[in-house]
A and B are shown apart, each in its own frame.
Chain A
Amino acid sequence: MSEKKSSAWSPSSRELERRKSRRRISRKQASIAAASSIFVLGTLAIILVSSPGWETVKATFFDIDYGREVFPTVVQGLWINLQLTFIGGAAIGVIALGLALLRTTKSPALTPFRFLATAYVDIFRGAPLILIILLVGFGVPALGLSGVSSNVIFLGTVAVVLTYSAYVAEVIRSGILSIHPSQRAAARSLGLTSGQTMRFVVLPQAIRRVVPPLLNDFVSLLKDTGLVSILGVTDAVRAAQINASRTFNYTPYVVAAILFLLITIPMTRYTDRAIRQRTSAQNSEGAI
């Protein structure tokens, strides 16, 4: 498409006036926002610092020297969390996709699997993750099965994967169900089988649609890998706990929290941006 722009345009005096007004309005809004932020945050800071226990809290939670000392061990623990997140994430993606496809299929041969997939999702979406971690982490080794690893990192990962697969399967399924039936009708009328229709027409559109909620689940996954510490895995949370209980100084927890935030905040910002871009691409609501 050739876009014809009239290059000889200069804004009218009325338009210049309007721009001036707009600038004035936005300056005013910015100063209100700044004043309100200073007031609210300043009040919070004053309440915190002037509280009777502040000196103790500063010494036991924000001891910078001790924080520096424990930093390497907590980072080492965080590496476990990251490994768990990425390896678990890959397994979750595959299992969740399988579950979502099973739950949306109409194939009679797969009826028992569809039933099982529904039961699976109901159970693992409904039970607290921490219970699943405890049951898998302590229950599976107790079975004494030969050939099944009793490595706590492995079992912890399995527990997280079991639960998150159920969450993610539901997200993918909702994406599949959100594709308009007319897309299926068009694909089927071209002679595509139901499998081909799913693979080439429905699924690509569905996955694109659920990318933002999937990223959201990914952030939650990273945080929830901290729960495997209850099995004795020395992840960031566990490493902080060991140090804290040794010295009764809780700075390691703060260090771990900051490290998690350093990863999750950029991820959530990115997710929000992805959602915003998606909505602005789909709706042309204008200035509202």
Chain B
Amino acid sequence: MSNVLELVNVRKSFGPDVVLQDLSLQVPEHTATVLIGASGSGKSTLLRCINLLESIDDGQIFLDGQEISDPLINVDEVRRRLGMVFQSFNLFPHKTVLENITLSPIKVHGKSKDEANAHALHLLKRFDLADKADQYPDRLSGGQQQRVAIIRSLAVSPRLLLLDEVTSALDPVLVNEVLSAVRDLKSDGMTMVLATHEMGFATQVADEVCFLESGNVVERGSAEQVLHNPQNPKTQEFLKRVHQAGRL
């Protein structure tokens, strides 16, 4: 199995704060890598670095074997192959659900409007949102907005989907509808990197779980190993706290 994404000794700092240090990661095709860790452990920064929204200070990032951390790379071309879903949805409030989804297919990928609309409607139907196509995002619930955001990133058929705490802004009922959408993607074979605080969900979808602390991968392995039988004391401590908070 070839790696869709590979990170080699990535380092990133904001001023004196080192956010990622010597971080390495391999994401084979059709697998889901789940990043867990306390807030500030570097999960979001890692995803933003992969998406080239942040530039790294050292190390290399490869997408399908091509080094995308090269400053000479065409950033827009790289991003066309990536999908990203944000914690706060970031839908475009002045565009309808359908327009949100078809913007990139039409303007970036050069699809015709009819083709893009048909594909978008197909995806909306699949995620039970067909009746929302002409609504503006403000009229939707948080869970619906986040599912639209997921569809928006899927509409360009990305090689790799990055999900940054996609359920953190939602109430427990809405969390489930979004998680079930992500589970569907997983069963479709979408390659994903997810940052999440939902440990039960991590167990369900993760092929590999990485526990991050202060920008280091402290422990990695299958969900069974890392979440249910952690070896590193830091992982144990983190999971104990999660457990106390009732999130496991």
Alpha-carbon gap, A187 to B88, bound state (A): 14
| A208: chain B residues within 8 A (beta carbon) | 94
- State whether B53 touches A200 (Cβ < 8 A): no
Convert B147-170 into 0s and 1s, putting 1 for each residue whose CB lies closer than 8 angstroms to a CB of A. 000001100100000000000000
Alpha-carbon gap, A105 to B153, bound state (A): 26
| A182: chain B residues within 8 A (beta carbon) | 86, 88, 90
- State whether B86 touches A183 (Cβ < 8 A): no
Q: Is B80 an interface residue (CB 8 A)?
A: yes
| B51: chain A residues within 8 A (beta carbon) | 189
Alpha-carbon gap, A196 to B153, bound state (A): 17
Of B48, B77, B94, B153, the contact of A190 (CB 8 Å cutoff)? B153
| A185: chain B residues within 8 A (beta carbon) | 48, 53, 86, 90
A contact face: mostly helix, strand, loop, or mixed: helix
Q: Return the chain B residue nearest A1 by Cβ.
A: B139
Alpha-carbon gap, A229 to B143, bound state (A): 60
**B window 102-148: CB within 8 A of A:** 103-104, 107-109
Alpha-carbon gap, A185 to B162, bound state (A): 13
- State whether A191 touches B94 (Cβ < 8 A): no
Residues A201 and B92 in contact in the complex (CB < 8 Å), given A190-B79, A190-B108, A192-B103: yes
Q: Is A23 an interface residue (CB 8 A)?
A: no
Q: Return the chain B residue nearest A205 by Cβ.
A: B94
Q: Is A186 an interface residue (CB 8 A)?
A: yes
Q: Is B32 an interface residue (CB 8 A)?
A: no
Q: Is A188 an interface residue (CB 8 A)?
A: yes
Q: Return the chain A residue nearest B103 by Cβ.
A: A200
Alpha-carbon gap, A224 to B84, bound state (A): 50
Q: Return the chain B residue nearest A199 by Cβ.
A: B107
Alpha-carbon gap, A201 to B99, bound state (A): 11
Q: Return the chain A residue nearest B91 by Cβ.
A: A186
Q: Is A42 an interface residue (CB 8 A)?
A: no
Q: Is A220 an interface residue (CB 8 A)?
A: no
Q: Return the chain A residue nearest B77 by Cβ.
A: A191
| B53: chain A residues within 8 A (beta carbon) | 185, 188-189
Q: Is B200 an interface residue (CB 8 A)?
A: no
Most A CB within 10 A of own CB, among B48, B77, B94? B94
- State whether A190 touches B156 (Cβ < 8 A): yes
Q: How far is the CB of B112 from chain A (nearest CB, A)?
A: 17
| A191: chain B residues within 8 A (beta carbon) | 76-77, 79-80, 104, 108-109, 156
Q: How far is the CB of A184 from chain B (nearest CB, A)?
A: 9
- State whether B93 touches A189 (Cβ < 8 A): no
Q: Is B82 an interface residue (CB 8 A)?
A: yes
- State whether A205 touches B79 (Cβ < 8 A): no
- State whether A204 touches B79 (Cβ < 8 A): no
Q: Is A193 an interface residue (CB 8 A)?
A: yes
| B86: chain A residues within 8 A (beta carbon) | 182, 185-186
Alpha-carbon gap, A190 to B108, bound state (A): 8
| A188: chain B residues within 8 A (beta carbon) | 53, 76, 79
Alpha-carbon gap, A124 to B84, bound state (A): 43
| B48: chain A residues within 8 A (beta carbon) | 185
Alpha-carbon gap, A187 to B93, bound state (A): 12
| A186: chain B residues within 8 A (beta carbon) | 84, 86, 90-92
| B77: chain A residues within 8 A (beta carbon) | 191
Convert B69-89 into 0s and 1s, putting 1 for each residue whose CB lies closer than 8 angstroms to a CB of A. 000000011011011101010
Q: How far is the CB of B108 from chain A (nearest CB, A)?
A: 4
- State whether A190 touches B90 (Cβ < 8 A): no
Alpha-carbon gap, A190 to B83, bound state (A): 7
Q: Which 3 pairs from chain A and chain B are nearest by CB?
A: A186-B90, A191-B80, A190-B104
Sampled A-B contacts (22; CB under 8 Å): A182-B86, A182-B88, A183-B92, A185-B48, A186-B84, A187-B92, A187-B103, A188-B79, A189-B53, A189-B82, A189-B83, A190-B108, A191-B79, A191-B108, A192-B103, A192-B104, A192-B108, A196-B108, A201-B103, A204-B94, A205-B92, A205-B94
